Amino acid sequence: MGANSSASVTPQIAPDQPGISDLFAVLAYGEISAFYRLVEEAQLSPSLRGKVAVAKMAASEMNHFTTLERALSERDVDVFDAMAPYVRALDAYHASTNPSTWLESMVKFYVGDGIAADFYREIAGALPPEIADVVRDVLAETGHSEFVVDEVRSAVAANRQEKDRLTLWGRRLLGEAITQAQFVMAQREELADLLITATGTLNGIVALFDRMQESHSQRMQVLGLM
Amino acid sequence: MGANSSASVTPQIAPDQPGISDLFAVLAYGEISAFYRLVEEAQLSPSLRGKVAVAKMAASEMNHFTTLERALSERDVDVFDAMAPYVRALDAYHASTNPSTWLESMVKFYVGDGIAADFYREIAGALPPEIADVVRDVLAETGHSEFVVDEVRSAVAANRQEKDRLTLWGRRLLGEAITQAQFVMAQREELADLLITATGTLNGIVALFDRMQESHSQRMQVLGLM
């Protein structure tokens, strides 16, 4: 835990660092807000199949929440107290990316999930193994959002205007996510410290956002966008 | 089991009786409609704690749905095709019991769940064991609706008018549930056959509704109502 070399990939964060509870808390509120938003956005689905697929995604968010609640309780932290500072920023992300069509909803399920997972997985790389396991567990690809790929791909292949619209929509999702991630980090010094330790330096944070942009582009390509 | 003095309690229904797929299907759509309704009704919750408790209940509905989807698939039945006949009656139940306050929502979570579980458990008694296991699994008390007991009890202990209002509300929930259960049974002859076989005779069906009324009264007492 001595010298801070940016090249080092070994965990530099102690298991009792307070920022870890903050990380669990922001993930926990992320699951709750995603749960309620998914269900609301599923109302745009024209079919029962779509609603069932979304309900399964939402249920797995709640299973993740339970994991985080337990992890916080093992650290003697009440999940509701710990989540409170993050409610506003995460609600703001969803409010600013309110889909108006079922295609927009589907792109948001797929792309939004991916962005969040990238961000937290980068932090997980610097965490002690038992903490990293919790983070990776709750970010595990459930495969539930895969159902959107075929639907979006065929919709945009058939319609150039829809493709352009959804490409812009995807770009906006990334922009809003990064804006709100910065607000989240600004809420608690402990969390910002964790991110800086995880990425090594301020340059490391820039590199992290570059990698997120890169993964985002790959996901957009999978959807047949851009 | 014991209440059924004259009728045999040994399973009289063959595992390949078509009504079993119908029973799984109506249970499956029941989980989906409960999921979406729970989440919508949770918007009435004044606290994040209430919303989280409801989201957990909703997630366990979806876990049950997955069990039923698998059980139907093992019988070569597509869950979406099989659910279609029951959409209207179950949606009608929820539409006719739309809570206007958080207390009404909570009573509905607790009482509505209980009524449904009583009804299907009675049928399960006459099913072959491997089928009955699936039904009992998806009706298993998750304990998630227990959170309403304290909240409702203290609200009605403090307010006579609220108590009277919620007592009427509980009575309405039972009435609507029985009405819609009759519509559900009328959708498919196979399902009605199953119920008649399960209860023995038409008198058996009357006795079943009497027992449901009795369990309902016990639940209302637990909530400090009536």
Kindly list the distances between the CA atom of residue A36 and the CA atoms of A120, A204, B11, B42, in Å, as whole numbers in the listed order: 21, 33, 42, 9
Tokens of B103: 């207390």
Taking only Cα atoms into account, the Rg of chain A, rounded to an integer number of angstroms, comes to 18
Chain B residues with beta carbon closer than 8 angstroms to that of A51: 32, 36
| Closest CA in chain B for residue A43 | B36
CA B21 to chain centre: 17
Residues A58, B58: C-beta atoms closer than 8 Å = yes
Q: Helices H, strands E: what count in chain B?
A: 10, 0
The count of CB pairs under 8 A between chains A and B is: 61
Task: Give the chain A residue nearest B84 (alpha carbons).
Answer: A48
Flag if B59 and A59 touch (Cβ within 8 Å): yes
Angle, alpha carbons B14-B16-B22 (nearest 5°): 105
What number of other Cβ atoms are within 10 A of residue B129's Cβ? Answer: 10
Query: How many residues are given for chain B?
Result: 226
A9 occurs within a structural domain: no
**What span, in angstroms and rounded, lies between the C-alpha atoms of B218 and B118?**
12
- Listing DSSP states for B32-53 in one string gives HHHHHHHHHHHTT-SSHHHHHH
- Whether the per-residue pLDDT at B3 is higher than 50: the answer is no
C-alpha to C-alpha distances, B159 to B110, B171, B224, B225, nearest whole angstrom: 20, 19, 11, 11
Q: Which tokens go with A32?
A: 């709750």
> What pLDDT, on a 0 to 100 scale, did the predictor assign at position A196?
84
Closest partner CB to B56 (pick from A51, A55, A62) = A62
Query: Would you say residue A2 lies in a domain?
Result: no
Structure confidence at residue B144 (pLDDT) = 65
Any A CB within 8 A of B35 CB: yes
pLDDT score recorded for residue A41: 86
Task: Look at residue B215 in the predicted model and tell me its pLDDT.
Answer: 94
Q: Whole domain around residue B117: which residue ranges?
A: 19-222
What are the structure tokens assigned to B29, written together? 């759509």
pLDDT at B5: 44
Q: What's the DSSP call for residue B142?
A: -
pLDDT given at position A9: 52
Residue at A151 is within a domain: yes
Whether B60 contacts B35, CB under 8 Å? no
- DSSP E strand boundaries for B112-193: none
How many Å from the N-terminal Cα to the C-terminal Cα in chain B? Answer: 27
Of all residues in chain A, what percent are helix, strand and coil, respectively (each to 5)? 80, 0, 20
Judged on CB neighbours under 10 Å (0-12, 13-18, 19+), B56 is buried
- pLDDT single digits (tens) B80-137: 999 999 999 899 999 999 999 999 999 998 998 888 888 888 888 888 899 999 998 8
Task: Please state the φ and ψ torsions of residue A163, each to the nearest 5 degrees.
Answer: -60, -45
pLDDT tens, residue by residue, B23-79: 999 999 999 999 999 898 888 898 999 999 999 989 989 999 999 999 999 999 999
What pLDDT was estimated at residue A3? 43
Contact with chain A for residue B83, Cβ under 8 A? yes
Residue B36, both tokens: 């979406």
Query: What pLDDT score does B190 carry?
Result: 87
Contacts of A56 in chain B (CB under 8 A): 62, 65-66
Q: Is B164 helix (H, G, I), strand (E, B) or coil?
A: helix
Split chain A (226 residues) into runs of 10 and give each run's mean pLDDT.
46 80 94 92 89 91 94 96 93 93 93 88 86 89 74 93 96 92 85 84 83 94 92
Q: Is B51 an interface residue toward A (CB < 8 Å)?
A: yes
**What pLDDT is recorded for position A133?**
92
A5 is a domain residue:
no
Cβ–Cβ under 8 Å, residues B46 and B106: no
Computed over every residue of chain B, the mean pLDDT equals 88
User: What pLDDT does residue B197 have?
Assistant: 84
What single string gives the DSSP state of each residue in A129-193? HHHHHHHHHHH---SGGGHHHHHHHHHHHT-HHHHHHHHHHHHHHHHHHHHHHHHHHHH-HHHHH
Burial class (CB within 10 angstroms; exposed 0-12, middle 13-18, buried 19+) of A73: exposed
Question: What's the total number of domains in chain A?
Answer: 1
| The pLDDT value given to residue A223 | 95
Which two three-digit tokens encode residue A180? 């709100």
Amino acid B196: pLDDT: 84
CA distance B118 to B204: 15
Instruction: Report CA B124 to chain centroid distance, whole Å.
Output: 13
Task: Note whether A203 contacts B: Cβ–Cβ < 8 A.
Answer: no
Which of A49, A62, A87 is facing B59, going by the closest CB pair? A62
- Interface probe for A, chosen from B39, B79, B142 (most Cβ of A below 10 Å), is B39
Which residues fall within 8 angstroms of residue B72, CB to CB, at 6 or more apart?
B21, B24, B25, B28, B78, B79, B82
Judged by CB atoms closer than 8 Å, whether chains meet at A51 and B32 is answered as yes
Is there a contact between A165 and A116 (Cβ–Cβ < 8 Å)?
Answer: no
CB contact set of B43 (below 8 Å; sequence gap of 6+): none
Question: Chain B within 8 Å of A52 (Cβ-Cβ)?
Answer: yes
Query: Can you tell me whether residue A49 is helix, strand or coil?
Result: helix
Question: Are the Cβ atoms of B32 and A52 closer than 8 angstroms?
Answer: yes
For B59, the closest of A36, A42, A63 (CB atoms) is: A63
Number of Cβ within a 10 Å radius of residue B203: 11
Q: Is the pLDDT of residue B148 over 80?
A: yes
Q: What is the CATH number of the domain that holds A96?
A: 1.20.1260.10
Q: For B152-181, how does the pLDDT look when each residue is reduced to its tens digit (9 = 90+)?
A: 999 999 999 999 999 999 999 999 998 888
Judged by CB atoms closer than 8 Å, whether chains meet at A66 and B56 is answered as yes
* Residue B62 contacts A, CB cutoff 8 Å: yes
**Integer distance in angstroms from the first to the last C-alpha of chain A?**
43
| Cβ contact, residue pair A51, B62, below 8 Å | no
Is residue A11 domain-resident? no
B134 secondary structure, DSSP code: H
Q: Which chain B residues are closer than 8 Å to A58 by Cβ?
A: 39, 58-59, 62
Q: Which residues of A touch B39 (CB under 8 A)?
A: 35-36, 39, 58
Q: Is residue B2 in a domain?
A: no
Domain-located, residue B127: yes
In a domain, B4, yes or no: no
Rounded to whole angstroms, the Cα distance separating B184 from B165 reads 28
Residue B142 near chain A (CB below 8 Å): no
